[in-house]
Amino acid sequence: MTLEILTADALAPVRHGFFTRRGGASSGVFAGLNCGPGSSDQSEIVSINRARVASAMELPGTHLVSVNQVHSADVVTITEPPSDRPRADAMVTATPGLALAVLTADCQPVLFADPDAGVIGAAHAGWRGTLDGVLEATLDAMEALGASRAGITAVIGPTISQGAYEVGPEFMEDFMADDPENGRFFAQGDGDRLLFDLPAFGLHRMRSAGIGHAEWTRHCTYSDPERFYSYRRATHQGQADYGRLISTIRL
């Protein structure tokens, strides 16, 4: 099966892709394009999948750069392929021939580009990282490389939608403590349950930070098991592990 790569017109002409799970070599609960070295999938199979992604981006595998994601607001500036994965949740570069890649399975994969300045970025933005400022930190790091904040476009790829993201009242408390206006990103669920709109919150944070343009592809990871891995869906189904989607951008 060939790879399925979702793209966004807003990021053109910069080469990028939000890869679905289709077209990979993994099997079982990982069936498809599992690109997560942190999963319990066979490491050699994950390497094959990542090599297919690098080939699709027309780069050698060593130039597909990812980080050791820890749900932080930390950003690293990449100038050459690192010898190991830096501990961070976002990357920026102005170096041609490098593809920045983030892994997700419900969290937001966010790809950034200022094509006029020749600067790109990629962020893994779960609720914690987004609340702590990983998206704004990515914009700051891109500016440090010469990007113009008003010239930056960001696209959120497949992520969990509000209808599938049920949380408890204590979850909302962290957001309300940060800004009472954050209540708008929660809807009432069953009983004391709430439904959190992660992509809307991500868009709000980037737009409030002065980004030129930001949008979401409107793909929900939870509700489309044929195309996307989902941590929450795997948990609800009692699965022992889950695959990781890859999203990447290059100059």
Query: Per residue in 173-230, pLDDT tens?
Result: 999 999 999 999 999 999 999 999 999 999 999 999 999 999 999 999 999 999 999 9
Nearest to 221 by CA among 238, 195, 201, 199: 199
Q: Residue 18 and residue 5: Cα distance in Å, rounded?
A: 6
**Conformational region of residue 103, where left means phi above 0, alpha means psi within -120 to 50, and beta covers everything else:** beta
pLDDT score at 36: 94
Q: How many beta carbons lie within 10 A of that of residue 108, not counting itself?
A: 28
The residue with tokens 């050698």 is 60
Sheet containing 99-104: order of strands: 5-6, 15-19, 245-250, 99-104, 64-65
Helices 198-208 and 134-144 cross at an angle (nearest 10°) of 40
Looking at the predicted structure, is the pLDDT value of residue 156 above 90? yes
pLDDT band at residue 1 under the 50/70/90 scheme: low
pLDDT band at residue 83 under the 50/70/90 scheme: confident
* Domains of the chain, CATH where assigned: 5-161+197-250 (3.60.140.10)
pLDDT score at 114: 98
